Amino acid sequence: MSQTTDPTQRSPRRSQPTRMSGLALACTLAAGAALATPAIAFAGDGDRGREGRPRTDVVVQQALDRLVAEHGVPAALANVTDRRGRERDLVAGVGDLATGAPVPVDGQVRAGSNSKTFVAAVVLQLVGEGRVDLDASVETYLPGLVRGPVDGHDITVRDLLQHTSGIGSFTDGPPFVVDGVPALRALKDRYMEPHELVALGLALPPTPPGAWSYSNTNYVLAGLLVQKVTGRPLAEAVTERIIEPLDLTDTYVPDRGERAIRGAHPNGHHAEPIGSALFEHTDIDTSSSWAAGDVVTTPGDLSTFFRALLAGEVLRPAELEQMKATVPMDLPGIPETWRYGLGLQSTELSCGELAWGHGGIIPGYQTDGGVTEDGRAIMVATTTAHFALPTDTGVAVSDEVLALVDTALCSGRS
């Protein structure tokens, strides 16, 4: 089943009451082919926009419905924003498989690795304030912490944010992977300290110096750097510098040991071993991702954040330019047009424009999307990570979502 919000215009800085009441694996690295969908308009009468083409929100709703009906995703949510700042929230599926409860419109989800962009933005604000130098060594700010095959004297703050440090990702070894198989269910209620995550990452074989290699350990180190420079907890820095100024009323960093999601949300689902039956996996201790992926948000808030970031409302021009200076994501299976900056990814759309964003995976949820330079945006969340689905199904879901992002953003140019 599906539902949509009232299709009236809404402000991108909507004011809503706060709804009261992860273990980030990687950014979205699956390649998808664009759907053969004609150009579509956002606004219009009925289900048709200009020149009789399907409205963007109608096409998005149809795609969400397919994710549920054809691919077995329990629930899917999306927020779509046009160039004029008008938003639509759409959902499909059910929020609770046990009770059949509906999906909360713009419900809270775990953002996974989208959290990295929040952390990178805080570091770059500190750069703008003259408190951090991107090209200074990690040793300058975290003396004695990075030792082993990779030494803190030899890598920079930029290397951390850009994933060129050579430090292994703590999620690639025990206890996250046992005998070559993900072992994430056992970590659901386990509390882990950031320094423990760093030690796990440093114990893994390094990657070639200067080569791009995605590592969650980089962002745990970036979070520790923020705490060392500011003298305050990372969660406080993210909240006071990003969440509160942008009025992201449904976004928060979980407290120490907090496992439940605070506001209205669809349940998350996981499968272990991969491809087996899905089980409910909502309440988890995200200390095992910390700065690499613990933020809770909504598709609408996530869209607001990325649009504000690209519009220059979060960083000064010099620091935003640094954030958008990208390098190739040079790994097998990743399209050549995908590039990574400082906690920010660019993707070339089929219409030739760039979409900016990140993507996030955490057991129970996955978020994908993009924002264009003129403020068009789409954010899509599913209540299971695509990697947990059977291989063919996971690929199909990834292809469908990435094609939807491309179609929605390219259609709104006129």
Q: Tell me what the mean pLDDT of segment 108-126 comes to.
A: 98
Which tens digits make up the pLDDT trace of 42-101? 333 345 444 445 688 899 999 999 999 999 999 999 999 998 889 999 999 999 999 999
What is the pLDDT, as a whole number, of residue 7?
26
SS3 category, 231? coil
> In the block, which residue shows the tokens 């071993």?
273
Q: What single-letter DSSP state applies at residue 373?
A: T
pLDDT of the residue at 414? 55
Residue-level pLDDT at 276: 95
Comparison of pLDDT for 26 and 414, the residue scoring more: 414
- Rounded to whole angstroms, how far apart are CA atoms 140 and 294? 26
Give yes or no for residue 228 having a pLDDT over 90: yes
Distance CA 220, CA 234 (A): 10
191, two tokens: 């509390």
Q: Would you identify the CATH topology of the domain 56-412?
A: Beta-lactamase (3.40.710)
Region 351-377: mean pLDDT is 96
- The arithmetic mean of pLDDT across residues 284-302, rounded, is 98
User: What's residue 56's pLDDT?
Assistant: 87
Between CA 302 and CA 371 the distance in angstroms is 10
Are 77 and 381 a contacting pair, CB within 8 Å? yes
Q: Where are the domains of the chain?
A: 56-412
DSSP, res 156: B
**Helix (H/G/I), strand (E/B), else coil: 88:** strand
pLDDT of residue 332: 81
Helix (H) or strand (E) holding 348: strand 345-348
Backbone angles phi, psi at 297, to 5 degrees: -155, -170
Task: Specify the pTM.
Answer: 0.89
**DSSP-H helix ranges across 212-332:** 216-230, 234-238, 299-310, 317-323
* Span 135-159, average pLDDT: 97
Whole-number average pLDDT of the chain: 88
pLDDT grade for 288, boundaries at 50, 70 and 90: very high
The residues assigned a catalytic role are: 113
Could you give the CA distance from residue 292 to residue 160 in angstroms, rounded to a whole number?
11
